[in-house]
Structure 1
Amino acid sequence: MSLHDISGLYNSKMVLIAAKEEILQDWVAEEECASILQRHEIDQELFIAHYAGNVFDYFMGVVSGQMVIGECPVIADLIEYLKNKDLRADELFTLCTHFKRAVLNSTYRMGINSPEIFTAVSYLFDRNFAGVLKLYTDTIYQKEQEAINASKAKEYFLSNMSHEIRTPLNAILGFVSLLRDETINPRYQKYLDIISNSGENLLHIINDILDFSKLRSGEFAIDPQPFNIHDEISHTMELFVPSANSKSITLTSFIDPSIPYEIIADAVRIKQIVGNFLSNAIKFSHPEGAIHVEARYDRGLLSLSVRDDGIGISSADQQRIFDAFSQAYEGVIRINEGTGLGLSICKQLAQHMGGTIELQSALGEGSLFTLSIPVVVNHECEIAKFDISMFEGIRFGLLEYDPSESYKLESLQRYWDHFGLDVCRIKTVKDECDLLIFLESSIDDETREYIIEQQIPSVAILDFLDDRYDTIETITPLTFPIYCTKLQNALSEVLGINQPSLPTALGINSGYGFSGRILVAEDNHANQELIRIVLERYGLEYVIASNGVEALELYCSQPFDLILMDEQMPYMNGNEATLSILAYEEKNKKPHTPIVALTANVIKGARERSIQNGYDAFLGKPIVLKEIEQIFDRYLSPKPIQKNEQKPKQKSKWPAIDMEHLKSALMLDEDQIDYLLGIYCQKMEHSLRELENAIAEKAYEDIPFIAHSIKGSSANFRFDELSRLAYVIEESALNKDKEFDFDEAYSVLHSEFSKRFMGEEGYYSSK
């Protein structure tokens, strides 16, 4: 179509320009257009003044021959404005179509309509719309690319942040572990335990930051493991004692002693939810208030509740408090600053575990949050939480207390009722009993002095731990929260009873090991030797393969009860070997042998990927005996083992290495650690030379494999800095980072190794 073909429209342009305001109003007032603008919260007046008016002017410019048809540059401003409002292509088409209709309708109203004008208007709009659609497509593509890049940047940030925080935390926890071994003061031991538990909790939180995005994307996986609910919940409560004390809040609890000792569920997620409940309860409780934690079990269902007597939650807020980024309001005033993510995450975690969270609350009356989840119970693992035989024949006297403080002793009375302790109420400290129990906040100075002077064996129940009874041998303090082991320890201490060690789960500490034949697939020689010693200590038979091919061949030719599979090995990696074993089992209708992943990749969803790759369970490196013992306990049968006699302590051959820390961390004898360190040194000498050559030759395909081996074996000996440096080299090579100085990184790695082993003849010599 030529300009001659639109001459009728050209001749009528002045009439259309005069009707501009009317045309624009008709355009945006049309029902579909008005609905689109309202749906995307677009102000009509702003839209007409800054966008619709410019589009009209451009259209008339094309009619006048002043603008190029099809490009519609002013539309770029409109699309840029609409880009972040998620306007769909069909909605954009509707807006453009109704603009054309508004212009055509105006020609009919003003009597300038004709077939030629109708054709010209339709032609110009269709050509212009083609340009608009192209611009829209390009803009949306750019938006999607920006979102993809932002997602990649987020993942990169989260993984690096996690690693950078974990590194100093490992050092902190390492030194706390050393202090715990060297400290004999019970109070300092308690403080160090709290620091250690808090540090471990922080590590879990760091991983939870990564998990939040997985919850939203559906990539999240639950990791059920055997655990002791009595210990885990009591440890979780202790973490919140300082913050409760800061508001003079009394934290009471009752963990039903009839709950089975060992439960299989995701303990980390359970503690995360209970911790969130406790944090909120403390935050919204009044000073000098009370918080009660309770744990119950009934026919496969574990219930954990946290009750406070704080400000409460209105009915309206209860409907949305579990929504992401939502918070409770009191009237129109926000009562808490924060992200509002905590309860939303808790609800999603509970649902992933097949459970629910219930809320009961009323304004001014406090709140009760209850987590209920199905769990699997190990009925064969029975352990006493409280040894009642230690207190047979002992008469306990509970001194009368202020009735207003009765809530503090309700749980305690439930405990001794459950265990059948002989406890009677006494009116004065002169009444006869074998052991006195009194509530510190309910006695006067005169009574306290009498108890001290008469050296009456007593347990003083304190709201907060202090040193008032540290020098008084006949009084033992007992602080909230109170649970079975804490109660037994206090009663035993004041009575001077030598407590036998409570029975523990099966393992080398109890004189029990496991029966079974293990296939170990591990290419690193030092790691092979460490696993060999661990397996021998548990009385297990084993066969070791150096790569996935060997592991597959051994599995197809011999029976095994369990497979420990390293993920990264030459010739065939652990994932490929696992898939081949599963295929072999299916083809030959062979019973499944549990396969446990061994990997140094403990972040970025390693557990989830391991389960997805066909593994039955996951063990991170460095290997932790408690974790590997739980794996054995889950898949193997117990058997008695002969414990080795303690050997006399000898002078260490490794003066630069904290041998006591390694003995505690690895739970091995010094001669075994000496042997393993010798193998480690030989392996490192060879690996460092390989790494140096690979860096010199820029063999980026070999560097990650060598560095990964150094990272894993160093982590097993808790050489955190060596492991971290190897990790940085491995990641930089995998990412082909041309800006990274591999020579400098190798030099630092070599130096760190030399600090520990330089001068040990026969093992390592410097360059």
Structure 2
Amino acid sequence: MVLKNRKIITIFLFFITQFTICQCNLFVLHSNLPVAKNGFLDLSNFDLGNIQNEFAVLNGEWIFFWNESKNEKLQLNLNSELETIIVPGSWNQKIVNGEKIGSLGYATYFLQVKLPEKWKNKILILRADYHAGAYEIFVNGVLSQSVGKFGTTKETSKNVHAPSIGYIYSNSDILNIVIHESNFEHRVGGVGRPLYLGLPKTINSISNQRRNSDLFSISVLFIISLYYIFYFLIRKSDKSNLIFALLCFFLLIRAFVQNEQILREYFPNGDYKLFLLIEYSAMYFSPSIALHFFSFPITYPFKNKFLAISYIISFLYFFYALFVDTFSISLTVLQFQYIVLLICIFTVSLNILAIYKKVKYSWISLCSMFIALITIIIDMMIIQEKIQIPFTASYGLIFMIFTQGIILAVRHSEAFRINEKLTNELTLFNENLENKVKERTVELNLAIERMEKSVKARNEFLANMSHEIRTPMNIISGMAQLLDESDLKPEQKEYVSIFNIANKTLLNVLNDVLDLSKLEQGFLSIDIHEFKIDDLFSDLNKIFQFKTKGTLLTFEMRIDQNVPLFVKGDSNRISQILFNLLSNAFKFTNKGKVILTLSFEDNRLFVFSVRDTGIGMTEEKISKLFIRFYQAHDTNQIFQRGTGLGLAISKKLVELMHGTISVNSILGEGSEFTFKIPLEIATFRNLENLQFQQTNKQMENLKVFVIDDVQENLLIVKKFLEKNISDIYLSTGGNEAVNIYEENLFDIVLMDIQMPNLSGFDLLKIFRKIDSDRFNFCPIIAFTANVTSEEQREIVEAGFSGFLSKPVSKKDIFDKFMEVLK
């Protein structure tokens, strides 16, 4: 494949070389063509077959009148001694009166041509390539053609770069050609380009060839530039495509304003300075862009600095040209050509370095750059009037562009083949990967299925465990409350307190375990309701004051005076957090104080703080404190070992209530846990009086139906209610409960969920059917030991008016009654 690419490149370069040579030699004359002598050119003695394509080039010595505008019908005695000048060539170096005349001024040229016999009485064409200045050409006293505006002063003269064609008809064999030439705006003056005389078919063919040559160069440069711009937009990582496109673009705009001056065809009255700026801007920037392009595949010292300096020079010349006149602009080429030469030599050396580093196709790149360098040197010699041949740099640069374009195309082709190969390999890999993914997906689905079964089994276990633990806890708690309300001895009161503390501790541990499960499933929620803060503190005080008995500890609670006591929030969750924090404080404090404080900030934040004088913690342990199952102290210490869930659950609960929790601790001195939560201030003033009035007025006439399959629960609830409610019905469920409900109209029903024969959900459906038949709706409260989120959701969706979780207190029952009766 590499050999094939080399053959293609070689064939391509051969054709490009031939094209360039043909273009360079298009107007090079044969050695036997006649040359004017002393203002006279004799074409009569030459056979037309020996004159290339039946045209003649009017080269040689022309009569020259400096700063004179001679009559267009000028007749001269050519045998007398007259001032002559070589055409084509500038008048800059011409010596008149012992001095060089320079570039600015005007002059008259004269040439007498004797025509061949075959050209007599025929229409001829005189073609003039573009001059630096303005001119008008007369043949036998008749204006043949003009470009720009000839004038004898800077104000009356107007330069235009453009070739011209004039038609001539002569019935004699002598042509007297007079040229008025003026230049006040360019560094070069005079007839600097050849004039061609011949038959229309031949001269038009010459013009068309040159025009087609320019259009071909412009078209190819445009296509190459556009192609690599789009290639860059597709693959922006390769900046060489963009730089190469810019190089083609600058050479393109230069081709528009050189040779046949294609741009002049569309803008014949275009500003002379603008056209000059377009031409010279391409000259300023092309070398720097070319250096940038050839630098891409090679790494060399100070690469970026060289490129930066090159671009800075280009921009300096460009901005200078913007603000000076056309004459000063034209002078810049004399200095800039040496900068171009240095950049070209450096670029050639980069190509040599690329060959040394074995960069692909560097030898072809070197050849193209070397040819471009030779043509640039030739143009420098032409500019300095060392030689008189057509400019060649454009062809050398086009040759370089074509060559680099084909090299880039081959490199892209190879990159595409590599990419195609990698794509095929990647496709095969993806197919294998898809098969593996399918296998892993099947395995994953099986694993998920096993996990879901495991989670379901765990949840069922937790629900059953909760139910089985909470049912006896409800009995213990209820009995303890009933005992606490009876007449007991102080010693018996202490026993009841121990029951309550154990029950509260066990309930808190159970809640933490269940909350962990809810956390993992994303079901942990907050229940907003009205409550009194000092009631919450009072319950905690009863529990933890008892823990100080027989110890060196004291427990204090402080509530700031500005704290609103009636609020809306989740009292159960706040109590759970404080219970966990206080339990930890008592666990790790042997003597001193445990202090619970509450303050209120202006932004309605309630600040709870638990401070102790215990053993404290290090910074390392504090950073891990809220991680589940983390124990801040070793198990071999004398302190009790906890579940490791309390603080993690507490942090999550605080965050769910849109609050923050923090801890400060000093090892050996104690710790302080603080959490801040926003609570809404309640609108009523005296919750106790309101509840008391409602209890006395509304509760005493209620007819309540309690259903539970555990006799002890029925007994406890009955004892809770009977002091305030006289009409209470009890049932262990099943058909007995259905019969009782059918025979009575109840104000409220408190019903267990898990019961044999007919569950709470089954009874609810039966009761609702009975309600619809007799157009009476009775509030039914679920009384359950199951408190998982799924069960709570099922209870709400089933149509229960509310639910109570076991163990339950007397206050909980009456609060719930008041809630559903509203």
TM over 0.5: no
TM-score by length of 1: 0.39
Q: Which has the larger radius of gyration?
A: 2
Tell me the TM-score normalized by structure 2: 0.37
